[in-house]
Structures are given as structure tokens and as C-alpha cells.
Amino acid sequence: MKASTPPSRPSSPEEQGMVGMQSVQHYENFPVASLLCPARFRPPIAAIYHFARTADDIADEGDASPTERLADLAVYRADLLATSQGKAVSARWPAVFVGLGPMLKEWQLPLPLLTDLLSAFEQDIVKTHYADQAELLDYCRRSANPIGRLLLHLYGVQDVEALKQSDCICTALQLVNFWQDLSEDIPRGRVYLPADLQTKHGVTEAALLSQKISSNTRALVADSVDWVRQLMHQGAPLVKQVPGRAGWELRLVVQGGLRIAERIEQLDFGTLQQRPVIGKRDALLMGWRTLWM
């Protein structure tokens, strides 16, 4: 979930979150309802997906001003709260809340996780730079981690260590998407490389905006990719705790994130100018590695 997700470039399955790798694209941390997803989980997952997808579109699509986007998200938030209380909602997004309401009740979905997502979308409208890693991690805590926690809630996995591992995986997926998309985000004025890492590697924001690759920018991206790998490996043990087909899907997701990191490295960390692509051969390699996890 970030404002740089363009509708013209659907997210690849390997780029996306913790469930369902094929049937619905375009929401980068949340693929939905694949064959690996048990049928009983598909309605709540689809409802959460459409809630998040619509909010993302409000924050990022069309030609509305930032003030208008924030006002729309305020109405959307009010509709969410009304739905959770069984009250009437506005007439603006009936398909979203008609589907979400029964799932909130049946599955007792944690409302704070959904409002965290809205908070991240609101931040996307007004914030385009990050001072340090802690600030970026706080954004990921609200933009990416709620998805993993919602899905673990459905599967009944709620212990503290599992939630921490889920957060590591979701944050790593969000970050590797940022590092993959530098050539698209930075021209739009969105700089997700935090300022403290820029300073560490002697890179100025002006250098990033020029998109000229140097040994310093390569070192900055390499350090950022190492950060992703560390987080992903910290979260990887979760794959053995998530039951059934979902555990296998999670293995594939972890391998997908790691493969994107490899692809960035194969470009010699030059993603200021070029976006790495995941293809069929990568998918085969990811499948093989998934079997060996």
C-alpha cells in the first residue's frame, strides 16, 4: 500500500502479501483468494481486500486535491465505524460495506487494524519523505502489517511471536516494493529511502532526484536491500506455524520477496533507473525454493 501504485502497472503475484497469489491484483501487499486459500476464508479476505483497495484508490487515483482526498477518507472512516456498529452508512461505497459488515461480525475482525490502514492512506496523501528508519517502520506498521495480522486472525494464529514474525514479513514486502520502484516513485517526489540512510552513504536528496547512479547510491540501495533480507529471515519461521495450504502460500510469498531482493542485486542496485521484473523463470525458482523451506 503506497500512493505510488499505479493502476497501469498491476502488481505481480510475487510482489504481494500473505494470501492468494493470483485472482485479484493491484493491491500490492494483499493478493486475494487463490487456489491455495481455503474456500471458507475467501469471503472475509475478499471483503477486506475491497475495503483496502477502495481506500487506496480514494487516496491515490483520479485528480482530487489532497484536501478532497482527506475529506473522502474521513467519510470512509465514518462508514467503517458505522458498519462495525450495525448502523447506516453513506450511499457512496455500498458494495464495500455491504460485504464487509457481515464479515466483521462473523469473524470478529479487529477494527483497529482496519483503521490503521486508513491512517496509512491518509499519511500517503500528505507525507512523501521519511527522516529515519523508525519513521518508515511506523508507516509500515500501519500500511502493511495489519494485512498479515488480519489474515493470521482468520487462521487463528495469535501468539505474540507469530505476530512479530508476520510484521517482519509484511514490512519486508513493503520495503522491497519501495526499493524495486525507486525509478517510478522518485520522479513523482516520493522518497521512501530514509534521510538517515542517505546521510550514512553520503547521498543527497538532489542526487536521488537526478536519478544518477553512483557508488554511493548503489551502496544506499544495497544497505536497504540487506535490511529487507534481515526482516524476511526474521519472519520466515512463521511459515511452519501457519496451517495447511496457507503455510505453503506463505512460503511462496517469502521466496517472492527474497527473489525481488536478488533481482535488485543483479541490477547492481541500480533501481534508481531501472525496475527489476519477475518472470516465469523466477516463478519456477521460487517454487523450487518453496519446496525446500
Per-residue pLDDT of the chain (293 residues; tens, 9 = 90+): 443 333 333 333 333 333 333 333 345 544 444 666 788 999 999 999 999 999 999 999 999 999 999 999 999 999 999 999 999 999 999 999 999 999 999 999 999 999 999 999 999 999 999 999 999 999 999 999 999 999 999 999 999 999 999 999 999 999 999 999 999 999 999 999 999 999 999 999 999 999 999 999 999 999 999 999 999 999 999 999 998 888 988 999 999 999 999 999 999 999 999 999 999 999 999 999 998 88
Separation of alpha carbons 18 and 138, rounded Å: 20
Closest CA to 3 of 143, 195, 131, 151: 143
Q: The C-alpha cell of 104 is what?
A: 466483521
The last residue of one of the domains, among 96, 126, 156, is 126
Same-domain pairing of 38 and 155 = no
The last residue of one of the domains, among 126, 157, 181, is 126
Question: Per the domain annotation, does 7 fall within a domain?
Answer: no
Structural domain harbouring 222: 128-293
The last residue of one of the domains, among 126, 157, 184, is 126
Question: Per the domain annotation, does 9 fall within a domain?
Answer: no
Q: Are 185 and 192 in contact (CB under 8 A)?
A: yes
Tell me what pLDDT residue 35 has.
61
Question: Per the domain annotation, does 254 fall within a domain?
Answer: yes
Q: Are 283 and 14 in contact (CB under 8 A)?
A: yes
Same-domain pairing of 167 and 269 = yes
Same-domain pairing of 59 and 149 = no
Same-domain pairing of 136 and 159 = yes
Q: Which amino acid is at 32?
A: V
Q: Whole-structure pTM over 0.85, yes or no?
A: yes
Q: How many structural domains compose the chain? A: 2
Same-domain pairing of 104 and 28 = yes
- Counting other chains too, the contacts that 201-207 makes at CB distance below 8 Å and 24 or more residues apart are 205/129
Same-domain pairing of 63 and 85 = yes
Same-domain pairing of 92 and 136 = no
Separation of alpha carbons 49 and 61, rounded Å: 17
